[in-house]
Every structure is written in structure tokens, then in C-alpha cells.
Amino acid sequence: MIGSSKYCTYIFILVAIAFSSCNNDNDKPQSNTQKLTQKEVNNGLIQSHKEYLLQQEDEIKQYVKRHNYDMQRTQTGIYYKITEPGKGEQAKLGEVATVVYTITLLDGTICYDTKEDGPKQFKIGEDEVESGVHEAVQLMRVGDKAMFIIPSNLANGLVGDKDKIPPGAVVIYNITLIAVKAAKPSLSK
């Protein structure tokens, strides 16, 4: 996470500038200079975010290389490997997944472990779980144990979880997919 706080600070400053340049008086037309300044701020935020994601990609690559992991990469930037293959069915969008996991940071800090609270269930693609986890579980079969390295934009983002996962953190999920089942249909009125 070397340098992550520098990029978070940079992004925060750019966001602050963007918000401070907002004008609540809608009756006054904006000058071309104000529009150009807002456009420059927006472009700066976009460029800063791209640089931040490239920096995280580099951190992940270094981590994988340092640990000599043979991992695949999804199009969205998640690195993964199935550490123990299962023999069950493939998890699918809309099903309810039952998982156990440990979440750590790249420095080895353990953030969460379901050993404390027991298995977790969520509906794949719908429940309030990090988007990277929804994607990751769909790469698994029941019984699989897998390791996923998820960049912050697919995990807890620039704010973290406001508890144990810091802002802008890359997270590592070691997940076991225990079961999948069809979701119960919702009752409509």
C-alpha cells in the first residue's frame, strides 16, 4: 500500500476543489472560464483515478510476483487462483451463495474472518456485497477454495469500510464456496 495514501489525498483534494467550485445560484450564467475550470477539474479527477488504478495494478503484480503465485486476471482487474478445486456446480448470477472467507490486506493484516461469525450468505449480483466478490464467486464451483486479490474500486473503494478496511485498500479474499441454491422468488403485490 506504499503510496496509496498519497493518491487518496490527491484525489480528495481534487474532489474538494470540484465541490467548492459548485455554484448554488442557478440564475447566474456561468462564464466560459468557469465551465473550462470545471471541465479541467473533472479531467484531473479522471486522470488521477486512472493513475491510482494503475498504481494498484502494479502493487498487485508485485505482490503476486513476490509470493510466486500463478494467478489469472479477469478483465476487471481481479487476480485469482483456485487453490483447491471442488466438484460441485458452478455458481451463477441470481443464486444464493454460502461462503466462508478471510479478508486480508496486502501487508497480511487480517480484517475479517468468518470463523468468528460463521458462514455468510448473499444473492449473487444483488445483495450488498463488494462487486468484486459477486464477480469472484461466479468463477467458483461448490467446494472450491480460492484466493482473490481485489482492487479497491471493486472492493471498498476510496472510503474503505469505515471499520477495518482502510480507504483505497486492495483486499485479498480467501474464499470457500460451501453451497449455492436457487433464490426464493420475491412476492410481488
Per-residue tens of pLDDT for the chain, all 189 residues: 444 454 455 555 545 555 555 554 455 555 555 566 888 888 888 888 888 889 999 999 999 999 999 999 999 999 999 999 999 999 999 999 999 999 999 999 999 999 988 999 999 998 888 999 999 999 999 999 999 999 999 999 888 898 899 999 999 999 999 999 987 776 554
- The Cα–Cα gap between 189 and 162 comes to 37
pLDDT of residue 188: 53
Q: Which is nearest to 168 in space by CA: 19, 46, 59, 17?
A: 59
Could you tell me the pTM of the whole model?
0.76
Full DSSP string of 60-72 = HHHHHHHTT---E
96-105 and 171-181 strand pairing = antiparallel
Asked if residue 124 lies in contact with residue 91, where contact means CB atoms within 8 angstroms, the answer is yes
Q: Which three cell numbers stand for residue 73?
A: 486476471
CATH no. of 72-181? 3.10.50.40
Q: Which is nearest to 114 in space by CA: 94, 92, 129?
A: 129
pLDDT of residue 48: 84
Burial (0-12, 13-18, 19+ Cβ within 10 Å), 117? exposed
pLDDT of residue 187: 57
Asked if residue 81 lies in contact with residue 144, where contact means CB atoms within 8 angstroms, the answer is no
pLDDT of residue 116: 81
pLDDT of residue 98: 95
Asked if residue 179 lies in contact with residue 97, where contact means CB atoms within 8 angstroms, the answer is yes
